[in-house]
């Protein structure tokens, strides 16, 4: 009886000693995404599901956020390990330009610990108006009230650069710094004349407009995109197919930046290697989460990478011969 009791005590002691060691092996990976009305969140939720289910001892969670610029700050503070970010915003942060510049001292403030993980899909710049506004070109926005994106957002920078390509700016338009949901509501109500929305299509905010009003997407012609690329190499041409939105019967040429996954230099190489592998071997789950998931392929996984790649991700691509 005594031996049995002693054995139970030993087992109990060992269990107490072993459990913390086992618990410590679990790695928590926070993924910064965007608002629930955008594309980042459903894709991030699907990616968290993949990593939690396919990578041993990893528990991943998708967090809503203010999207690209806010996600850079979350990475900078080490609040998250991975984030969805536009490649143009990543470029600005890595080099300390645009919204990452000290305007008072006129000095760059680069965030040097950012590292690339994967290029994902085009973030299409959709300049949306209503047919009733009789606006047929971005050049017609002179003097008009325009939603240019939330303050400091990637959309706001896109709007500024594209307006400049049409010899427009905030000095000869009436900019409103609205997020996607606010822009959709105010365009439906006729308060504003047009809105810049940078997101993978179909975008929930644009679908919301189309559900109750006759919308029009203004073109950014290919020659204008080529002009933009001379100054901003992260832009690319893209076409919004006809019938992407209700009442949009013709395809529209426009510009896009790329959504990408960004991590931090200090995240372990082995972990990023494993997460990158799990991402690219389970793209079917991302494809099921959102229409833009079909654009996420290894064919473009490194195309347009604007910053240094993380060593773990680079090792994966080299092992697979992906250039």
Write the CB contacts of 79 (distance below 8 Å, at least 6 apart in sequence).
30, 32
Residues 203, 292 within the same domain = no
Residues 135, 83 within the same domain = no
Distance CA 270, CA 92 (A): 28
- Looking at the domain assignment, is residue 3 inside a domain? no
**So what's the pLDDT on residue 17?**
39
- Looking at the domain assignment, is residue 58 inside a domain? yes
- Looking at the domain assignment, is residue 11 inside a domain? no
**So what's the pLDDT on residue 233?**
81
Residues 221, 156 within the same domain = yes
Residues 249, 145 within the same domain = yes
Q: Which domain holds residue 147?
A: 123-257
* Domain termination site, one of 257, 280, 300: 257
Residues 134, 241 within the same domain = yes
H/E element, 73: helix 68-76
* Domain termination site, one of 227, 257, 287: 257
Number of domains in the chain: 2
First to last CA, the chain: 67
Per-residue pLDDT of the chain (323 residues; tens, 9 = 90+): 444 444 444 444 444 333 444 455 889 999 999 888 778 999 999 999 999 999 999 999 999 998 788 999 999 999 999 999 989 999 999 999 888 988 788 888 999 999 999 999 988 999 999 999 999 999 999 999 999 998 877 889 899 999 999 999 999 999 999 989 999 999 999 999 999 999 888 888 999 999 999 999 999 999 999 999 888 888 989 999 999 999 999 999 999 999 999 999 999 999 999 999 999 999 999 999 998 899 999 999 998 888 999 999 999 999 999 98
- Cα angle 272-257-94, degrees, rounded to a multiple of 5: 55
- Looking at the domain assignment, is residue 298 inside a domain? yes
Domain with residue 73: its CATH number is 3.40.190.10
Residues 263, 114 within the same domain = yes
Residues 133, 117 within the same domain = no
Residues 50, 197 within the same domain = no
User: How far is residue 174 from each of residues 50, 103, 134, 170, 192, measured CA to CA in Å?
Assistant: 44, 23, 17, 6, 9
Q: Six-digit token pair at 31? A: 């993924």
Q: Six-digit token pair at 44? A: 């991030």
- Looking at the domain assignment, is residue 21 inside a domain? no
> Is residue 116 classed exposed, middle or buried when 0-12, 13-18 and 19+ CB atoms within 10 A define those classes?
buried
- Looking at the domain assignment, is residue 232 inside a domain? yes
Neighbours of 161 (CB within 10 A): 17
Residues 242, 268 within the same domain = no
Residues 94, 137 within the same domain = no
* Domain termination site, one of 257, 275, 304: 257
Residues 248, 266 within the same domain = no
Residues 237, 152 within the same domain = yes
């Amino acid at each position: 009886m005594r031996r049995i009791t002693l054995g139970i005590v030993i087992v109990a002691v060992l269990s107490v000693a072993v459990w913390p060691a086992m618990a410590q092996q679990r790695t928590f990976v926070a993924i910064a995404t965007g608002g629930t009305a955008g594309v980042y969140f459903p894709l991030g939720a699907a990616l968290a599901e993949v990593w939690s289910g396919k990578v041993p001892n990893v528990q991943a969670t998708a967090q809503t956020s203010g999207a690209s610029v806010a996600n850079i700050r979350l990475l900078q503070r080490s609040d998250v390990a991975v984030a969805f970010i536009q490649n143009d915003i990543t470029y600005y942060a890595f080099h300390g330009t645009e919204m990452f510049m000290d305007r008072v001292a006129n000095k760059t403030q680069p965030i040097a610990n950012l590292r690339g993980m994967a290029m994902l899909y085009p973030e299409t710049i959709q300049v949306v108006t209503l047919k009733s506004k009789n606006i047929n070109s971005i050049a017609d926005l002179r003097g008009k009230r325009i939603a240019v994106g939330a303050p400091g957002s990637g959309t706001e920078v896109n709007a500024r650069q594209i307006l400049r390509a049409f010899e427009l700016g905030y000095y000869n338009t009436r900019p409103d710094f609205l997020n996607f949901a606010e822009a959709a509501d105010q365009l439906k109500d006729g308060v504003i004349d047009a809105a810049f929305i940078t997101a993978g299509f179909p975008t929930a905010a644009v679908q919301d407009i189309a559900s109750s009003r006759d919308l029009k997407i203004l073109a950014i012609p290919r020659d204008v995109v080529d002009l933009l690329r001379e100054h901003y190499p992260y832009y690319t041409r893209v076409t919004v197919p006809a019938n992407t939105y209700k009442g949009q019967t013709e395809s529209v040429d426009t510009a896009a930046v790329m959504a990408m996954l960004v991590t931090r230099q200090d995240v372990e190489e082995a972990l990023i290697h494993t997460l990158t592998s799990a991402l690219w071997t389970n793209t079917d789950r991302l494809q099921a989460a959102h229409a833009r998931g079909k654009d996420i392929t290894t064919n473009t996984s490194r195309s347009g990478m604007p910053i240094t790649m993380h060593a773990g991700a680079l090792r994966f691509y080299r092992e697979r011969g992906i250039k």
